Structure 1
Amino acid sequence: MKEGDFIKRIVYYGQLVALFSLFWVVLFESLSFWVLISAPIISILSLILSEKYLLKANYYDLYYFNIFWLLKYTVVLFTEIYKSGFSIIPNILSGHANPGIVDITTEVDTNIGIALIANSITLTPGTITMDVSGQKLKVLWIDPETYNPTMAGLIIKGRLEKLF
């Protein structure tokens, strides 16, 4: 293993430990001394055990992860959620919702990327991903602006797909 590759792995696993530790602290809803001490210990143990017994491989080899990408994704997702929420409020208040089902295609080709896109679409108000078949998604849309798969895909996926 090259020295640069070793450093990349250390940074990668450091980011995972930080993320898992944050998750641990959120679960306990506390910043007590014991929670802060146990968080990295439990995170490291869960990484080791899941690699050895569940994945039977390394996270580094299987999943791309970057904390800065995660922060950017979170900001874009929250922006899309709020934009969609404010655009759907008039339809809900007026009772003029006209739901329709639209088939869209994603450019993302990894299973985890497709799952993230599908779940992100479901998180935005007014859309629910009903079915995923390969790169095709069937989406329930509260008030469809178009039934053209290409145009609907651009509107529904927004900026999210570009992150993958």
Structure 2
Amino acid sequence: MAQRTDLSTTRNLGWALAVVLRRWHEGVEDVLKDVPQGSRGYQVLSTVVHEQLPTQVALAAHLSIDRTVMTYLIDELEGDGLVERRPDPADRRARRIVATARGRKVLAAAERRVAAVEDVILSGLSADEQAAFQDLTQRAATHIHHEDPNADPCTAVRQVFDQAN
């Protein structure tokens, strides 16, 4: 007779993160259909609004997105009226990416929808556990990003989905 493993007590961080990430990605892609490039466009727009990085190059570096890919993402966001490129006053060759009023409005609505998805995903945890989970994963991710700022999180997500399918 095969021994049953109780998944609630088995420690397997990779499996747990992959399950949570997959559910998050599926849920947010569904609610971000109005944002160019879905969750990737959302991350860019959110970073433009909340981090206020000085240039397009800095934005690409912060999000660990190849500069040429970032150009296409910004093109789509700009084409949809969510951001605009402005010359950097300190270096006219550089471009600052600035959210438009429409971009801020779209982001605010998207953040509410993403938060609702996250609430469902974490509904098996108490409010304190949800806050702790989000705090701890944010701290771990920040530490990892600091150690390896060139790691592409979008590639990691694609790898998870490729392995799962």
TM-score category by the smaller chain? under 0.3
Larger Cα-atom Rg: 1
Q: Which of structures 1 and 2 has the larger relative contact order (alpha carbons within 8 angstroms, sep 6+)? A: 2
